[in-house]
Chain A
Amino acid sequence: MKKGSPAAAWLLAMTCAGAAASESTELDYFAELPTVLTVTRLAQPLDETPGAVTLIDRATLRRSGARELADVLRLAPGYLAGGYNGANPTAAYHAPIDDFGIRNLVLVDGRPVYSAYSLGGTARGMMGVLLEDIERVEVLRGSNSAAYGANAMFGVINIVTRNAADTQGAEVAVTRGAGAINDHYARLGWGGAAGSFRLSAGRRSDSGYGGAHDDKAVRQLHLRADLRPAADRELMFSAGAVEFSGGEGFARSVGNPERTADWRNIHFDAQWRRQVAATEALKLTASYDEETLRDAFVHAFDPSVIVSSSGTGRRFNLEFQHQRGLSDRLRVVWGAGYKYEDVVSPPLYHTARPVALHEERLFGNLEWRLHSRWLINAGGFAARHSRTGSYFAPRLMANYLVRPGHALRFGLTGATRTPTLFELAGDVRFYPKNADPLTNPDFWRLAALGRPYRPFESSGQVDAETLRSVEMGYFGHLRDWGMTLDVRLFDERLSRQIVTRTRSAAEVLAGRGVVDFVNAGAFSTSGLEYQLRWKPNDGAELWLNQAFQNTRRNNGEDGPFAPARATTLAWFQKLPQGFDLVAIFQTLGALSWQKRQDALPSRQRLDLRLAKRFLLGNTRAEAAVAVQAANGSQPAHQGDSGFALERRAYASLRFEL
C-alpha cells in the first residue's frame, strides 16, 4: 500500500505554508554573517576615551523637561549654563570668561555651529537644532583642540541628531506655559532600508528672563536624508533653515537700547562614509552655513547715527578622515580639512567687501595598546590660518586599566582658540552730524574735527589664545552596585587671552578706534569634578555631579570668576502606570560672567517634571507638566541687571504615530 499522494500533498502544503510564513531552520543558527559593527564604527568605551565624556541620551533630554540645550548642559559636571539674556542661552565649561559660548566647540552632526559672523558665539547655533531630533549629546569635557582644532578649547559639545531611519512616521508636540512659553514641533519620516528621510519643523518662543527685554522666537525647518547606496557605504545629507528673533538691550540705555535682533541661518551638511575593511573606514564631510543678522538702532543722542551690527557671514568646511587598524594594538585616525569663513558687514568692518579667513588643517591620532592595561592616545592638530599663521595643538593621554571596571587616565593637552574675524578686522565707525556737546562730547569733538567716532578698531595684531591642561581621571564601573563614577582632576591655564584694550584719548582724537583686541589676559583654574550615576533599581536613576575649582586671573580683580562649588543632583524615577517623575536640583556657588561687581550670588534651582505615557490606539502619547525654578525665582546673568530666572510652569503633549 502506497501512502504517497496524501503525504506528499500534505508536505507540499506544509512547505508552501512554511515558505509563506518563512519557517526557521537550523540554517538560521549556523549561517555565517558579515561583520556590521566594525571596530571603526564603534564608539570608544568610556574607560578608553582620551578625556572625560558626559553622555546625555534622548530619553534623558526628554525627561529633563529642558527646552534649551544650554539647560541640558547643567547635567554635565563643570558646565555653567547662562546667557547674557534669556534669548541667548549658552553654557561654558569651567571658565565663565565669555557669555557667548565662544570657547567651546558646538558641533551638530560634525558641523560647527559657532557664528562666523562676529564674536563666534554658539548660543544661536545651539538653538538651531530641534531637541526632539537629537539622539544624544556627547559632552567632551576638557580641551579637544588636538582632535577638533581651534575653538575646542574648553571642550566639545557634540550633538548627534537621530538617523532618519529611526524617525519614521509622524510626531507632533506642543508645549504651553507661563512666561509666554509656546513651543510646537512636527516631524514626518518616510523611506525604507535603502534610504530614509525626515522633515521636521519647530517653533519655540518665550519671554526670556524676568525683567529683561529678551522675548524670543525661533522657527526652524530641517531635512535629513540617510542613504545606503551599498552595504559598505552610507550617505547622510541634511539641510536646515533657522529664523530667530530676540530682544536685546536695556531700557534707558543709550549705547544698547531695547530692540529686536533678527538672525537667520541656512545650512547644508553632507557626509559620505565607506567601510573599506573591518578595521578601515573613510569619511568625507562637507558643510556650508550662512547667517544673516539684522540688528540696528538709531543713536539716542544723534539721530543721524545708526548703530548697526547687521551683515552676513558664511562658512564652508571640508574634511576627509581615514581610520585604520594597523594591528590589534595600533589604530590610527588621520585627516585633512579646509575651512573658509567670510563676513560682509559694512557697519562692523567698514567695507562692503567680504572680510575672509581660511584655514588648512591636518590632524591625526594614534591609539596604541601598549600593554593589556595601558592604552596610549597621542595626536595633534596642525593648521595654517590665513591671518594668524600656523598653530599646533598636541595631546598625549594614557589610560591605565587598574582592573576590569576601573581605569585611570593621565593626560597633557594643548589647545587653541584663533581670533574671530571681528577680533582680527573689526572696524566700526560712526559719522555723527548732530552731536550735542553736552550729551556726547566724544561724538561732538570728532565731528568738529571731521573725523568719525570709532568705538572698535582692531589692529589685526591679535594672535591665538592658548590653553595648556594637565589632567588625571578615573572611570569606574561598579557593576554590582549599578554605578558608574567619572572623576576628573584638572589644571587648566589659559594664556594670551584675547581681551579688549582701550586706546588713549589722544589716540582716539587722532582718529584711532577706542577699543582694540590684544592678547593680554590670562586665566587659570584647577580643581576636581565628578559625575556619579547610580541605578539603585530598575525604575530609578540618580545622577550626582560636583565640581570644585579654584580660579586665578592675572588681569586684576574685576575679571570674571568661576563658582568654587557646584552640585547637580538629578533623580529620574519611573513610576507605575506609565508615570515618570524627574527632579533636578542644582546649587551653584557665586560666579561672575563679567566684572566682579556683576557677581551673581550663590543660587539653588529645582526643576521638576511629571509625565504620563499612554496609548491612543496605535499612537503613543505623553502628557507632562514641568516647573522650572520650582523653589522660586533667582537672579540671572549679571547681579546688577535685575534679570531673573523666574519660576515657570509649563505643560506639554506629544503624539507619536
Chain B
Amino acid sequence: MKALTKNLMLFAVFFFMGAIVFRYSLSDFIESRSFNLIWLIAVIYFFFNFFIGWFFGKRDYESIPLNDIGFRFHFITYFLFNVVSVLWFSFGFNSHFESIRIVYITALFWGIGLLIHFIFYLIERKNSINGLNKEDIFE
C-alpha cells in the first residue's frame, strides 16, 4: 500500500509550517504573558489544522479511497507536531515559562490515543486489499 500520497505530503508541509508559526506565537505570547492572545492563537491553530485536514483528506480520498480510518493523517500530525516541539526546545526558542516536560507528557498521552487508533486501523485493514476497502474496489 502506498501510504505517502501526494495529498498527505501536501498536508504535512502545511501542517509543519503551521506548527512552526504556532510554536513561535505560543512562546512569544507566554513570554509576554499575553494570555488572551494565547487563547486566540490556539483557536486559530485548531481551525487551521481542521481546515487543512479536511481539505487534503477529502482530496486524498477522492484520489484514491484508502481505508485507513484517518490513521496516516493522524500519525503524520503526531510526528510533526512533536518533532517541531522538541526541536523548538532543543534550539532554545521556548519561553522561560515553558517546560519541555509538558511536551513529553502531551506526546505520551497523545501517543496512547494514537496507539488505540492504530489498533482500530489494524482491525479495519482486515477488510481491505492493498489498503482499499473490499466493498469499494469494484463498482
Q: Do A and B come together as binding partners?
A: no
